[in-house]
Amino acid sequence: MINYQALCEQVIEIAKKAGQFIGTESAIFSSSKIEYKGLNDMVSYVDKTAEAMIVEALSQLLPAAGFIAEEGTSNKVGEEFNWIIDPLDGTTNFIHGIPAFAVSIALKQYDELVVGVVYEVKQNECFYAWKNSKAYLNGNEIRVSDNKDLASSLVATGFPYYDFSRQDDYMSLFTTVMQKCHGLRRIGAASVDMVYTACGRFDAYFEYNLKPWDIAAGLLIVQQAGGEYFDFNGGKKALESGDIVATNGKVSEELNAIIHNVFNNKA
């Protein structure tokens, strides 16, 4: 029987160690070290080194587990367990010296997320949860907000950076949501958007065309903090589709109706 809490505590230490390396490198990083994986999709030795550190450490915790990792350090597939890793979520922020980036590590057992850790490096804030637990920030329990409608809510989102095929609809969605809430924010790191929703700083978050490593840990943390998540069709395929809506559970119906109306079942 897996002790998910003990496993989560070990993952926290691994995330913090990688975060310490990232934080140190951020002070001396040069833009000459940037590589491009695709349009506006950047990576550096910092992402790659941090991922290698994380993969090596996690391999010792669950030797049979596989990896779904952004930089492809390991493509091992596990039968029961698979780690889902973003070693540096918010690479563009990191490169430009904007202090909003995080280490994100999740563990999936078969089709269920059972551990989630997001360590926001510059804020020294570690958000985490495990199967059947509460959600926590630096040892303190967190909960989603109590706001009951968009009119009293602060909403987070992300902008597409390479897939612009749905941009017109998405801009229409921005316009509609902005007119119905306190404000719309874009931090530039999906994992941070999600854990901020989990602890009540945001009341909801939505974005499309994300990868599993962007959102896996955040999904579990939001859920265990009392929130909920769904895809743009209102279903439970966010991790697979990359279309994500995470909320405090109270504004879900209102936000889902707006998304459904704007995309007209095209999601």
Q: Return the closest-CA partner of residue 223 out of 120, 149, 135, 145.
A: 135
Place of tokens 């493509």: 75
In angstroms, the first-to-last Cα distance of the chain is 39
Q: Return the closest-CA partner of residue 48 out of 104, 97, 88, 15.
A: 88
Phi, psi (deg, nearest 5) at residue 132:
70, 15
Place of tokens 């743009």: 232
What is the enclosing helix (H) or strand (E) of 70?
none
Question: How far is 181 from 78, CA to CA, in rounded Å?
Answer: 43
Q: Residues annotated as binding site for Mg(2+)? A: 70, 86, 88-89, 214
Question: How far is 258 from 4, CA to CA, in rounded Å?
Answer: 37
Contact 267, 233 (CB under 8 A): yes
The sign of the dihedral angle between the CA atoms of 41, 46, 89, 218 is positive
Give the 3-state secondary structure of residue 86: strand
Maximal CA-CA distance, the chain: 50
Q: Residues annotated as binding site? A: 70, 86, 88-89, 214
